[in-house]
């Protein structure tokens, strides 16, 4: 997964022949796994060291918890807020995260040359996620093997244990058990990182589920509340959903050079949930709520670039401008974010040429209730360009020690 981005023409028409409503229904055939990850403390020191004692990677042993993020609509007197509930354990995820040079082209069957981790680095350090295996439930018979890359980011602040931030993008390479044959899945990381213990934070997996293997006609068991390891952090979640009239246009320089695409998409409230309890095992639910705004994404992405498979995705970057409004479309707040590392995977939905993609990056501020905001942003999406329909999950990880964005 090389880190680069280039500029495109707009995607060619797909000629699917399906109505937008039918195509949207097919795009929405997906399973969602929103999880909170904590390090397994019994795994010991996470560091992997070379013969000279330098840390070149980390053994990551994650305990995955059910994670509920219920976001409220913004209003005149109160901005968007959410309840965050860390629930019962639902699985494990193990990997080797090996440090790599910034220009390294990663592959799952390629072992990188030893590269030292610098805990005092002022710039992001890239890593590759090798030997990734996720198992759900007590027996661990359902799960997948994956592959991806990420960045360890320097974290401002002082005192106590040294910590960093992490963003990462992975893709399912091979499923087993209930996941067998379900290889069109993208998972995104955002959270904090300790060189001694590992990762703490959010993992959001979106999986194309054409046969409804993970769906349920009923409700899931009530969540069992566990202590929140990050009480100073608040997560917000909402959905992106385009309609055919939302424009997709080329972005060109003043000299006429193609730079990418400008894509508009509506925003709605969203709730997702998953569980492994009960005789049916791994299940997932989701529901969309009222309209709350729109996003204009300026994307550097070349749809004609080679690759686009799970092992050779196409890179992209975005600059995102969010506008939030009330039911009368009166503007309440704005938010600026970016995906400084993104991956595009080709797929087909109802015969239409489509893409699924994951992007990770940061928040650069906003206005109204988002004035002074800081944190991380992830974007997990499936998009069809002709007709323009989509389903995106935007998740904000906000540093929120005063609880501005939190419902008690």
DSSP string, 187-244: EEEEEEEETTTEEEEEEEEEEE-TT-TT--SSPPPPP-----S-TTEEEEEEEEE--T
Burial of residue 264 (CB within 10 Å: 0-12, 13-18, 19+) is middle
At residue 2, the pLDDT reads 41
The 10 Å CB-count burial string (b at 16+, else e) for 307-334 is ebebeebbbbbbbbebbbbbeeeeebbb
At residue 43, the pLDDT reads 61
At residue 139, the pLDDT reads 80
Say which DSSP state 159 is in: S
pLDDT tens across the length of the chain (408 residues): 443 333 334 444 445 678 999 999 999 999 999 999 999 867 668 899 998 999 999 999 999 999 999 999 999 888 999 999 999 999 999 999 999 999 898 888 899 999 999 999 989 999 999 999 999 998 889 999 999 999 999 876 544 445 799 999 999 999 999 999 999 999 999 999 998 889 999 999 999 999 999 998 888 999 999 999 999 999 999 999 999 999 999 888 888 877 888 999 999 999 999 999 987 889 999 999 999 999 999 999 877 788 999 999 999 999 999 999 999 999 999 999 999 999 999 999 999 999 999 999 999 999 999 999 999 999 999 999 889 999 999 999 999 999 999 997
Written as six digits, the tokens of 176 are 């087993």
Say which DSSP state 332 is in: E
User: What distance in Å separates the CA atoms of residue 243 and residue 152, rounded to the nearest whole number?
Assistant: 36
At residue 337, the pLDDT reads 97
Q: How far is CA 249 from the centre of its chain?
A: 25
* pTM (two decimals): 0.93
At residue 158, the pLDDT reads 44
Residue 50's contacts (CB-CB under 8 Å, 6 or more residues apart) are 56, 114, 116
Q: How far is CA 42 from the centre of its chain?
A: 27
Residue 147's contacts (CB-CB under 8 Å, 6 or more residues apart) are 108, 129, 130, 132, 170, 171, 173, 310, 311
At residue 193, the pLDDT reads 94
Q: Where are the domains of the chain?
A: 20-399
At residue 302, the pLDDT reads 78
At residue 278, the pLDDT reads 81
């Amino acid at each position: 997964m090389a880190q680069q981005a280039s500029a495109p023409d707009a995607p060619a028409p797909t000629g699917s022949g399906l109505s937008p409503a039918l195509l949207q229904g097919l795009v929405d055939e997906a399973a969602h796994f929103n999880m909170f990850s904590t390090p397994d403390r019994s795994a010991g020191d996470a560091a992997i060291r070379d013969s000279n004692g330098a840390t070149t990677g980390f053994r990551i042993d994650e305990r995955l918890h059910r994670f509920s993020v219920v976001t409220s609509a913004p209003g005149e007197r109160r901005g968007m807020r959410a309840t965050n509930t860390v629930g019962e354990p639902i699985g494990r995820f193990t990997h080797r995260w090996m440090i790599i040079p910034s220009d390294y082209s990663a592959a799952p069957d390629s072992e990188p040359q030893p590269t030292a981790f610098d805990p005092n680095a002022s710039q992001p350090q890239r890593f590759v996620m090798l030997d990734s295996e996720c198992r759900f439930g007590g027996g661990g018979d359902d799960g997948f093997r994956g592959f991806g890359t990420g960045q360890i980011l320097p974290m401002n602040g002082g005192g106590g244990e040294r910590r960093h931030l992490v963003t990462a993008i992975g893709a399912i390479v091979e499923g087993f058990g209930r996941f067998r044959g379900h290889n069109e899945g993208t998972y995104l990381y955002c959270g904090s990182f300790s060189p001694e213990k590992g990762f703490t934070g959010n993992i959001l997996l979106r999986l194309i589920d054409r046969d409804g293997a993970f769906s349920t006609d009923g409700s899931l068991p009530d969540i069992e509340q566990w202590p929140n390891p990050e009480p100073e952090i608040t997560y917000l979640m909402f959905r992106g959903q385009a309609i055919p009239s939302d424009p997709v246009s080329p972005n060109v320089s003043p000299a006429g050079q193609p730079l990418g695409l400008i894509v508009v998409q509506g925003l709605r409230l969203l709730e997702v949930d998953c569980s492994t309890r009960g005789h049916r095992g791994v299940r997932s639910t989701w529901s969309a709520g009222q309209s709350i705004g729109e996003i204009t994404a300026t994307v550097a992405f070349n749809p004609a670039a080679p690759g686009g498979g799970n092992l050779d995705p196409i890179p992209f970057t975005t600059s995102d401008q969010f506008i939030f409004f009330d039911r009368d479309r009166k503007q309440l707040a704005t938010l600026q974010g970016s995906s400084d590392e993104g991956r595009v995977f080709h797929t087909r939905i109802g015969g239409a040429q489509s893409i699924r993609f994951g992007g990770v990056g940061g928040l650069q501020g906003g206005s109204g209730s988002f004035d002074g905001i800081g944190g991380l942003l992830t974007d997990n999406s499936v998009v069809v360009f002709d007709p323009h329909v989509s389903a995106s999950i935007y998740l904000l990880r906000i540093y929120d020690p005063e609880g501005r964005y939190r419902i008690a």
